[in-house]
Amino acid sequence: MNAAEGGRAARKRSLAFLGRFLLLLLAFYVIVASRPVNDHVIVPFTHGIAAASARILTALGEPVAVSGTELRSDTFSVNIENGCNGVETALLLAAAVLAFPASWLPRLTGFLLGFAAIQLLNLVRVVSLVWIGRHRPALFNSSHTVLWQSAVVLFGVLLFLFWASRQTRRGREEEPEKVRR
């Protein structure tokens, strides 16, 4: 294969990945936006995030109460809404991992570990935002919209790039074995 053919093949693979990624992302967002999935999966999941955050905050000496997806203290309250529960970033990661040309076990493992990492970071995010809202309310809006939203999405993208680079490296290491057989 000459360089031009190799370049065309690489572009074709990239466009195929991009097409699969966009279709999966759209499908995931349609599913999550449907009322039954939102009401019976996303809202209870988000309540779990609120409850876990409340336990962490209480352990850190910041007493808060949970009501559904809302965290309340004596001076501050915040409602964890869609977009703030880490689900969108997890969907972005899922679409990218599933669209990537790798075998199913590494895809599943990559997504599950990535999902756990995103949710762990999101817990840190929620806890820190409640603390900021209570103790530095003037910094809450910029911390919420500029700092943390960007950080969580960037983290999801970096997780995918790390995972994809490992898969690509594995593919290159296995390729000579296939040629030798």
Cα separation, 36 vs 100, whole angstroms: 29
Cα separation, 35 vs 2, whole angstroms: 52
pLDDT, tens digit, 9 for 90 and up, residues 88-118: 999 999 999 999 999 999 999 999 999 999 9
175: pLDDT strictly greater than 60: no
Tokens of 62: 């910041």
Q: Are 130 and 76 in contact (CB under 8 A)?
A: yes
Cα separation, 10 vs 164, whole angstroms: 15
Cα separation, 121 vs 144, whole angstroms: 14
pLDDT, tens digit, 9 for 90 and up, residues 135-167: 999 999 999 999 999 999 999 999 999 999 999
Residue with token string 């103790």: 135
With cut-offs at 50, 70 and 90, classify the pLDDT of residue 3.
confident
pLDDT at 178: 52
pLDDT at 145: 92
Tokens of 67: 């009501």
pTM of the model: 0.89
Q: Looking at residues 53-64, what average pLDDT do you find?
A: 96
Cα separation, 108 vs 119, whole angstroms: 16
Residue with token string 């603390």: 131
- Number of other residues whose CB lies within 10 A of the CB of residue 60: 11
With cut-offs at 50, 70 and 90, classify the pLDDT of residue 174.
low
Query: Which own/partner contact pairs does 41-44 have at CB distance under 8 Å and 24+ positions apart?
Result: 42/82, 42/85, 42/87, 43/68, 43/69
Percent of the chain residues past pLDDT 90, beyond the cut = 86
- Counting beta carbons within 10 angstroms of the beta carbon of residue 122, is it exposed (0 to 12), middle (13 to 18) or buried (19 or more)? buried
131: pLDDT strictly greater than 70: yes
